[in-house]
Amino acid sequence: MAGGPPAIFDTPGGAWALTLAEGGRRALRREWAGTGLHRWLLSRPKAEGLAGEPKDPRPADLAAGRRLLAGRFEFGGASLEAGVGGDPWDRPSPSRRFAAALHRFDWSRDLIAVGDDGAAEALRLTLDWRRLFGRWNGFAWSPEVLERRVFNLACAAKAVSAKASDAEAGLIAQDLARQARHLVTLIDGPVRAAERACAAALAGGALAGDAGEDLIAKGLARLRRALPVTVQPDGGHASRCPRAALELLLDLQALDEALVHRGIAPPDEMLRAIDRLAGAVRFFTLADGGLPDLQGGEGGTAAYVAAARASEGASAKLPTARNGYQRLEGRSLQVIADAAPPARGPWSVTACAQPLAMELLIGGRRVIVASAWSPDAVGPQALRMADAGSTATLGDQACGEPLGGFRAGVLGPRLVGAYDAVDARRQEADGAVWLELAHDGWAKRFGLRHERRLYLDLAADELRGEDRFLPARPGVDLGEAGRRFVPFTVRFHLHPEVKASLARDGKSVLLQAGDQEHGWWLRNDANDASVEPSVFFQDGQPRRAQQIVLRGQARVETGARIRWKLAAADIWPPPQ
């Protein structure tokens, strides 16, 4: 059983009280941040130049770097043509996501990878940024943007300064120190505390003298407190987002190397977190090299995920469960199922209310997926709800939804009204794995409990499933209310490279990857089966996809079920 009693935040009164208190506190902090006294304090002690060159383990994109060198900026699905030597800072950004990526200096790694010309261009862009935004700007210095800019600038400062005059190099070092000191003041809650402390300490690793030593000390002190809260004992991130675990691991690996080069022993909490996160990333890495597209994170490319695993030694046997997820492995089939409630409170700003959602790979290809919504996706918050996951929904109702409006602007789009508990039971025997999952997210509204059973037949290389809606209080006479019917839907979202074709019987669906001649049958006993449009996000951009939709009716006093089976129509992929 996972979960616990609902927090007071989940009540309307609690949410509004927290919104007003947090809104007032943030307003005061913004006012203080823009004052001359605050800017003066950020300038002390003065930076004495650069001492280290932290390395970001994330792979660079040379093609993106060459586009930047030609003056073409492409971020968040939008582009801006500034021309060679053009200034992207003195014109409106095409979208907020574009502006965030631009001000986070996400481009610096790709541009520097091009070579000397790229480093020189990165220097020009950095100096142009400081001319307009270096003193203070509400958006450019916002916590989410500042955190990544400090990290990226710390990694790029040495290469950029190599192309600068002594005066320009001094300005870059001082700017890095000022921004990192301000970032330290923004560590005031559990969410992103570890990431921000890591970025501040990394900046200290790049800076010489008292400025660097002071930032290392402050960053590591906050990191010691934040990591035990952020990284769970099994290595999972507190947000339950696999991608968040990967990103934090990459940040910590960069800091670990920087501290070693400075002759500073990393704290035990940091080494423990690196070890745990590495185990979690290994667990989450699927057969195609990516991560699950679940709980607010994209899977990423195999090369990106592999960057965090470059130093791994011999691999031990993977656990069957971690961070509330279950893995089932067969000869051709690989399944990962979400078997825990979403994160709560401040940790839930990227969480998805998709109970018992699953993803499935066949022969190393993604077949059944989620929508892959993430904070960088050019898509609505509605894609965080149940019908955007490969799971069941009841009465076309949500099982938790993100905050909107004023409250979301202050607290972030946290989930409210989500289910609090998931039951998970697993059994293994020779030739089979049996997983039983259940949640009561619709019990209060409809009096029904959703159960999902997955049976992986290792010998036959088949996956059999059953989605059931059962009375939450069996044996209780509900009177007239118990005799009403509630519609339910079971969805299987498909990867964009998978094509679904409905058979003549109107029930069975043939799944084929790309132009493969052979495929897999999804057979079922639903009252109605159809193939409908869906969406899948890749690098934040929507791609057209399909979904298999099975529909039925559940009587409140007796419930209902749909059984389905996925089996090969022939060998897939065909032998070479």
Check: CB of residue 456 under 8 Å from CB of residue 433. yes
Mean pLDDT in residue range 132-159: 96
Mean pLDDT in residue range 77-97: 93
Burial (CB count <10 Å: 0-12, 13-18, 19+), residue 331 = exposed
DSSP string, 248-284: HHHHHHHHHHHHHHTT-PPPHHHHHHHHHHHHHHHHH
Predicted pLDDT of residue 29 = 72
Distance CA 539, CA 543 (A): 10
Residue from 154, 241, 141, 157 nearest 191 by CA: 241
Least confident of 45-54, 164-173, 227-236, 311-320: 311-320
Predicted pLDDT of residue 41 = 79
Is the pLDDT assigned to residue 407 strictly greater than 90? no
Is the pLDDT assigned to residue 20 strictly greater than 80? no
- Say what angle helices 166-185 and 193-206 make with each other, to 10 degrees: 150
Predicted pLDDT of residue 6 = 46
Residue 523: in which H helix or E strand, if any? strand 520-524
Q: What is the pLDDT of residues 310-364, one digit of tens each?
A: 766 556 688 999 999 999 999 999 999 999 999 999 999 999 999 999 999 999 9
Predicted pLDDT of residue 314 = 53
Check: CB of residue 471 under 8 Å from CB of residue 557. yes
Predicted pLDDT of residue 477 = 57
Tokens of 390: 């490969």
Tokens of 416: 């409210």
Average pLDDT, the chain: 91
Within 10 angstroms of residue 479's Cβ, the number of other Cβ atoms is 8
Q: What is the pLDDT of residues 424-468, one digit of tens each?
A: 999 999 999 999 999 999 998 999 999 999 999 999 999 999 999
* Rounded (to 5) percent helix, strand, coil in the chain: 40, 25, 35
Domain coordinates in residue numbering, the chain: 48-189, 356-568
Predicted pLDDT of residue 148 = 98
DSSP string, 181-222: HHHHHT--SSTTHHHHHHHHHHHHHHB-HHHHHHHHHHHHHH
Predicted pLDDT of residue 2 = 42
First to last CA, the chain: 46
Report CA-CA distances (Å) from 267 to 154, 221, 248, 271, 370. Answer: 20, 9, 16, 7, 38
Tokens of 574: 């065909």
CATH T-level assignment (fold) for domain 356-568 = Beta-galactosidase; Chain A, domain 5 (2.70.98)
Predicted pLDDT of residue 411 = 86
Tokens of 37: 């006294």
Helix spans in 328-452 (H): 405-411, 443-446
- The DSSP call for residue 296 is S
Give the global pTM. Answer: 0.93
Predicted pLDDT of residue 7 = 53
Predicted pLDDT of residue 576 = 46
Cα 519 to its chain centre, rounded Å, is: 31
Distance CA 234, CA 324 (A): 10
Check: CB of residue 367 under 8 Å from CB of residue 287. no
- The DSSP call for residue 83 is -
Q: What is the pLDDT of residues 469-505, one digit of tens each?
A: 999 887 555 656 667 899 999 999 999 999 999 999 8
